[in-house]
Chain A
Amino acid sequence: MSQVRTSDNSIEPMISLSGVGKWYGAFQALDSINMSVAKGEKIVLCGPSGSGKSTLIRCINHLEAYQKGDIHVGGIRLGHGSKVIDAVRREVGMVFQQFNLFPHLTVLQNCMLAPMRTLGLNKPQAEGRARTLLERVKISEQAEKYPAQLSGGQQQRVAIARALCMRPKAMLFDEPTSALDPEMVKEVLDTMIALAEEGMTMICVTHEMGFARQVADRIVFMASGVIVEEAPPAEFFSNPKHERTRKFLGEVLGRH
């Protein structure tokens, strides 16, 4: 697996969490999470609803604050200062279950906004980059439309292009196909597979086990705020170690 070599020649993961604890009031949503993602690595994060998957990836770009442990992204320790948080967010793209495109902006404007505001690109530069990436998610002919005029699958591909316009070093996906009609799931997964093949570092929360089998380097299984087990797909599916993992696999793969 390819890894980042920093100047002092130590091998540093792209994203690392050590002993991360997260509370919503008195409720502990994450407990002692340790996880390390190397550059170019693809992680699929799965687990029952409410197990803390969203919370975990939302801590990585500080959409949620964590109270214990450490998170490093691209060598930066994710503390509470807004400078650090902005720096991390520039490096990490995120795709949401509900797309969250800006409805008052066209597809093109959705993709141009952040590069212009935070990377200092001028309009032609941002537009060039946006059109290239819209091309890459095969939606360039819709550039002048508003999100509401697109299907769910198209909207989600725009959301991926919008995140990629920041040229992120890693991408976080939070159930990107869960809100889609079944016939649109494939086009989004295909886009994600293409991205994976280009070497993007990815953490994907998804229940699409076919995708996990094809793309993941490791599958991480969570339950009740802890990581129960993690393994490469072959091992994860053929030889799950924990009873909770077996039960979960039985449910998502439809065998009982």
Chain B
Amino acid sequence: MGREEFLFLLTGLKWTVALSAVAFVCGCVAGLMVALLRTSGVAIIERLTAGYIAVFQGTPLLMQLFVVYYGLALIGIQMDAWAAVSVGLTLHASAFLGEIWRGSIEAVPRGQTEAAKALSLGYVSRMKDVVLPQAIRISLPATVGFLVQLIKGTSLASIVGFTELTRAGNIISNQIFQPLTVFGIVGALYFLMCCPLTIYGAHLERKFLTASR
């Protein structure tokens, strides 16, 4: 495999990183909304949000991407592949992060909210100043774990025609007929992205365990 082909793979890698970053950042914002709605204390809102989460947890990511890609086109919203997979992955991430953070918010002892209420802190301050800083700490290992899943999940965007790392590999492999070499390199690139994150997640988990003892 020549320099040209390798550079093409790196372009794919760049899009994988961009897609992961967009889905993660937008997923964090939307996921925070989901987590707050899911713990709002309003029964109907909690049930609707639980349903939203259940849909994304109970269906394959690939199907979710198909539905966004073809579904949006069907109702007349024209989007290129990049926008469609970004939206799809963001929705996917919002549901999973929302559920992770719901658990973390509920893991913060009730006494914290009660003390904040007794001090007459309103909902925004209770969340922003008291509950979320503690919940985020609790959720960090699981959040990093999900980020790794999300990076690997972006490879499914190749199926709707978005040229990220996996599709770039496919294209090169079809050109030079060395699938093993090409996908070996593609795999190594994924590994280089995910492995440090996994190690970091495990480190956070250990740190959290020792801190909570």
**Do A and B come together as binding partners?**
yes
The segment out of A73-81, A91-99, A127-135, A198-206 that lies at the interface is A91-99
The segment out of A100-108, A181-189, A244-252 that lies at the interface is A100-108
**How many A residues, CB 8 Å from partner?**
24
Distance from A119 Cβ to chain B, minimum over Cβ atoms (Å): 9
Q: What are the interface flags for A56-75 relative to B under an 8 Å C-beta threshold, 1 for contact and 0 otherwise? A: 00000101000000000000
Residue from B111, B114, B118, B130 with most neighbouring chain A CB atoms (10 Å): B118
> How distant is the Cα of A72 from the Cα of B159 in the complex, in angstroms?
66
Distance from B120 Cβ to chain A, minimum over Cβ atoms (Å): 4
Q: Is A113 an interface residue (CB 8 A)?
A: yes
> How distant is the Cα of A96 from the Cα of B114 in the complex, in angstroms?
9
Q: Assess the B133–A94 pair: CB atoms within 8 A.
A: no
Q: Is A256 an interface residue (CB 8 A)?
A: no
Q: Assess the A100–B112 pair: CB atoms within 8 A.
A: yes
Residue from B109, B111, B119, B137 with most neighbouring chain A CB atoms (10 Å): B119
Q: Assess the A104–B133 pair: CB atoms within 8 A.
A: yes
> How distant is the Cα of A117 from the Cα of B118 in the complex, in angstroms?
13
> How distant is the Cα of A70 from the Cα of B109 in the complex, in angstroms?
30
Q: What are the interface flags for B117-145 relative to A under an 8 Å C-beta threshold, 1 for contact and 0 otherwise? A: 11111100100011001100100000000
> How distant is the Cα of A96 from the Cα of B130 in the complex, in angstroms?
17
**How many B residues, CB 8 Å from partner?**
18
Q: 20 interchain pairs (CB within 8 A)?
A: A63-B114, A82-B122, A86-B120, A89-B117, A89-B118, A89-B119, A94-B115, A100-B114, A100-B115, A102-B112, A102-B115, A104-B133, A104-B134, A113-B125, A114-B119, A114-B120, A117-B121, A117-B129, A118-B120, A118-B125
Further 18 A-B residue pairs, CB within 8 A, beyond A96-B114, A104-B133, A113-B125:
A61-B117, A61-B118, A63-B118, A82-B122, A86-B122, A89-B117, A89-B120, A90-B120, A96-B111, A98-B111, A100-B109, A102-B134, A113-B119, A113-B121, A114-B120, A114-B121, A159-B115, A162-B119
B residues contacting A by CB (< 8 A) are 109, 111-112, 114-122, 125, 129-130, 133-134, 137
